[in-house]
Amino acid sequence: MRALLLSLALLIASPALALADARAERDGDALVVRWTASRPVDVRVSTAPDALPGAATLASAADADGEHRITAPAGQRLYVLLKEQGSSDWQRVAERVLPLEAGSNFRDIGGYLAAGGKHVRWGLIYRSAGQPLLTPADQAQIARLNLANLVDLRSAEERRLAPTRIQNVRYNAVGYSMAALMPAAGTAPVRNGATLYRGFPTLLAPHLKLVFDRLLNEPGALAYNCSAGQDRTGFVTAMILSALGVPQPVIMQDYLLSTQLRRPQFEMPRIDPAVAANDPVARMFAAYQTPQAMTPTPLVEADGTPFLAGAFAEIAEKYGSVEAYLEREAGLTPARRTALRRAYLE
């Protein structure tokens, strides 16, 4: 995972800044911040995702070794501002993955280089797998994110089998049946770009409309999830990042992080065999709970093409561009896209 996170850090570094490959990763009870710069860097820290340098605490002045460790017990989320001496520019970095005890693939999509040389704001948009087994400590950590909305991308059957444990947050969902993701005579979702992912632009259009409505009209952070946090969540993330002007190679690398970041044992409660016997959706998820099926597999076709490419291909064929698709199916007009970038880029 570290190698993929590093390659993402290299991709998101702004060419306008001398700072490069800036990133923050957890190491036990510490947050390790690393960067490359030609001159010493001042390191400032805040618990607020929108704090400006003057409001952040100086953690290290004129730091020249490209690394600084900050004490940060699990559950404490910090935002680090880096400024190279002699420059007025600064860059914010944060821990991408929330270190939950019993969560899976819960991460911030901030930090990516986007339209106009700006970066996606940290602390405002989170993607996740299902959250049916969160511990009280996990619930407390998520409460500190100040979520205003949770959009559940799962089917009605999944939401019944594994209700979220995120509390005191407005809950949003669009009803549909898991049958939309299952072959007519099978018990498992279709898992290739030509079928499953090509269906996402149609299946998830109502969810995208809901997500963009919440992002544009309601203050506060937003989280969204499916069961594994990789397929439906991966598509919605790709559309949000596309709307913000993030390059497609970066979007693909963020998508592929799910293979390393999933913890399937926390995505669905253990399913009672008696329930599974008479419920095809429960039976499908019970099959995923065998030891052999608990290891995430890479999200690519046999030739290495990411599954997500199928969704982009479908959009290109039917709409011409992601912008046209989002305007037609999710109501994201050019004016609303401009407003979205104004709100979620820095």
Return the CATH number at 236: 3.90.190.10
DSSP, collapsed to helix, strand or coil, labels residue 289 as: coil
Query: For 204-231, how does the pLDDT look when each residue is reduced to its tens digit (9 = 90+)?
Result: 999 999 999 999 999 999 999 999 999 9
Given 42, 71, 95, the domain boundary residue is 95
pTM higher than 0.85 for the full model? yes
Q: Are residues 218 and 123 part of one domain? A: yes
Specify the DSSP element, H or E, that contains 298.
none
Query: Which of 218, 192, 215, 139 lies closest to 298 in space, CA to CA?
Result: 192
Cα torsion through 251, 256, 262, 264, rounded to 10: 120
* CATH of residue 63: 2.60.40.10
Q: Where residue 273 falls among pLDDT bands split at 50, 70, 90?
A: confident
Q: Are residues 73 and 117 part of one domain? A: no
Whole-number percent of the chain with pLDDT over 70: 91
Given 95, 116, 148, the domain boundary residue is 95
Q: Give strand ranges (E) for the chain.
A: 20-27, 30-36, 41-46, 57-63, 67-71, 79-84, 91-94, 107-108, 125-128, 147-152, 170-173, 221-225
Q: Flag whether pLDDT at 135 surpasses 60.
A: yes
Given 63, 95, 127, the domain boundary residue is 95
- Cα-flanking dihedrals φ and ψ of residue 124, to 5°? -125, -25
Contact 52, 45 (CB under 8 A): no
SS (HEC) of 112-176:
CECHHHCEECCCCEEEECCCCCCCHHHHHHHHCCCEEEEEECCCHHHHHHCCCCCCCCEEEECCC
DSSP, collapsed to helix, strand or coil, labels residue 39 as: coil
Q: Are residues 148 and 21 part of one domain? A: no
The parent domain of residue 315 ranges over 98-344
Q: Are residues 147 and 90 part of one domain? A: no
Specify the DSSP element, H or E, that contains 11.
helix 2-12
Q: Flag whether pLDDT at 299 surpasses 70.
A: yes
DSSP, collapsed to helix, strand or coil, labels residue 224 as: strand
Least confident of 21-35, 51-65, 179-193, 294-308: 179-193
Residue-level pLDDT at 321: 98
